[in-house]
Amino acid sequence: MLRTLFFLTLTLLGNATVLAADLNIAHGWARETPPGRLMTAAYGTLTNTGDKTIVINGVSSDVAAHSSLHETLIERDRSTMRPVKSLSLAPGEEAELAPGGMHIMLMKLDSPLKEGQSIDICFKLENNNDVCHDFSVTKYKMSAHSH
Ligand SMILES: [Cu+2]
């Protein structure tokens, strides 16, 4: 009985650790807020480096009361945004969050974000622990690869 429990615990912990670490976040940055505004967007490259599908069911950050994944759509020549409920990444798949495309929307910020600051953004993974990562606050850049 004890042995079974021990084995189960190890298996559960093992799965959680492996999967959470399999979400790689690179080039993470958040846009400095324009004067007088308390919302902004964050970008970066998400890669599934593991061998199981990763499902991201949401995002959160200490600095914002409301955060969500958004995609940008062009409707009648106008750019609009809409929330993405969940994002699936197959093994080896990469998702680029960039201006004009998918992004992390940070709303109801506690205070404006300034260049040089660093914020923590967490990804809620299905059946797993949250994965948190540092995003540096910078002024607008054309793409995450421009540096
Ligand atoms: Cu948005």
In the chain, where are the structural domains located? 2-138
The stretch 113-122 carries a mean pLDDT of 97
pLDDT at 147 over 90: no
Residue carrying structure tokens 């940070």: 106
The string of pLDDT tens digits covering residues 62-86 is 999 999 999 999 888 888 999 999 9
Helix (H) or strand (E) holding 20: helix 2-21
Find the 58 Cα to ligand 1 centroid distance in Å. Answer: 13
Find the 59 Cα to ligand 1 centroid distance in Å. Answer: 13
Find the 10 Cα to ligand 1 centroid distance in Å. Answer: 40
Give CA torsion, residues 97, 98, 101, 106, to 10 deg: 70
Find the 141 Cα to ligand 1 centroid distance in Å. Answer: 16
| Least confident interval from 76-80, 93-97, 119-123 | 76-80
The stretch 77-105 carries a mean pLDDT of 95
Q: Which CATH architecture has domain 2-138?
A: Sandwich (2.60)
